Structure 1
Amino acid sequence: MNIACWSGPRNLSTAMMYSFGARADCAVWDEPFYAAYLAQTGLNHPMREDILDAGETDPTVVAKHCTLPPSGSEPYFYQKHMTHHMLDHYDQTWFDEVVHVFLIRHPARVLASYSQKRENPTLEDIGFAQQSQVYDAVLSRGLKAVIIDSHDIRQQPETMLSKLCDAIGMPFDPAMLAWSQGGHPDDGVWAAHWYNAVHSSTGFAGPEKDLPVLSDDLQTVCEAALPHYDRMKSLAISCPSENSRVIPTTSL
Structure 2
Amino acid sequence: MSHPLLFLWAHSRSRSTAFFRMMLERGDFVGVHEPFSSIVAQGYADVGGEKATTGAEVLDLLQTMAQSTPVFVKEVTEYRYDVLDDPRLPRLGTHTFLVRHPEPTIASHHFMNPEVTCGEIGYEHEYETFDLIRQRTRRTPVLIEAEDLVASPETVVEDYCRRTGIPYDPAALSWSEGEQNEWERTAKWHQDVVRSTGFSARSNTYAADMHNHPRLAEYYAHHLPFYERLRTASPLDA
The question of a shared fold, defined as TM-score above 0.5 by the shorter chain, is answered with yes
Sequence identity (%): 26
- 1:59 and 1:187 mapped to 2: Cα distance? 19
- 1:226 and 1:53 mapped to 2: Cα distance? 31
Equivalent of residue 99 in structure 1, options 87, 94, 99 = 94
Once the 2 structures are TM-superposed, how far is the Cα of residue 138 of structure 1 from its aligned partner?
Answer: 0.5
User: Is residue 115 from structure 1 mapped to residue 110 from structure 2 by the alignment?
Assistant: yes
- 2:112 and 2:221 mapped to 1: Cα distance? 21
Per the alignment, residue 223 of structure 2 pairs with 225
Q: Deviations over 1:154-173 (max 9, x none)?
A: 11111111111111111210
100-109 vs 78-87, which moves further: 78-87
- Over the aligned positions, Cα root-mean-square deviation in angstroms equals 2.6
Per the alignment, residue 125 of structure 1 pairs with 120
- 1:20-99 correspondence to structure 2 within 5 Å: 20-38=23-41, 48=42, 52=44, 56-70=52-66, 74=69, 76-87=70-81, 90-99=85-94
The one-letter amino acid of 2:161's match is C
Per the alignment, residue 182 of structure 1 pairs with 178
Once the 2 structures are TM-superposed, how far is the Cα of residue 143 of structure 1 from its aligned partner?
Answer: 5.0
Assess if the C-alpha contact under 8 Å between 2:118 and 2:219 holds in 1.
Answer: yes
Q: Deviations over 1:15-37 (max 9, x none)?
A: 01001111021221100112322
- 1:162-241 correspondence to structure 2 within 5 Å: 162-191=158-187, 193-206=188-201, 214=210, 215-235=213-233
5+ residue gaps, structure 2 = none
Assess if the C-alpha contact under 8 Å between 2:147 and 2:201 holds in 1.
Answer: no
- 1:140-155 correspondence to structure 2 within 5 Å: 140-144=135-139, 145-155=141-151
Assess if the C-alpha contact under 8 Å between 2:11 and 2:122 holds in 1.
Answer: yes
| 1:85–1:98 distance in 2 versus 1, CA, 3 Å | farther
Q: Deviations over 1:163-200 (max 9, x none)?
A: 11111111210122112211223224221x21111111
| 1:96–1:138 distance in 2 versus 1, CA, 3 Å | same
Per the alignment, residue 9 of structure 1 pairs with 12
5+ residue gaps, structure 1 = 39-47, 237-252
Q: Deviations over 1:127-157 (max 9, x none)?
A: 1111111111102212531111111101111
The one-letter amino acid of 1:77's match is V
The number of equivalent residue pairs is 222
| Misfit runs of 4+, over 4 Å | 51-55, 207-210
Assess if the C-alpha contact under 8 Å between 2:173 and 2:199 holds in 1.
Answer: yes
User: Is residue 161 from structure 1 mapped to residue 157 from structure 2 by the alignment?
Assistant: yes
- 1:53 and 1:167 mapped to 2: Cα distance? 29
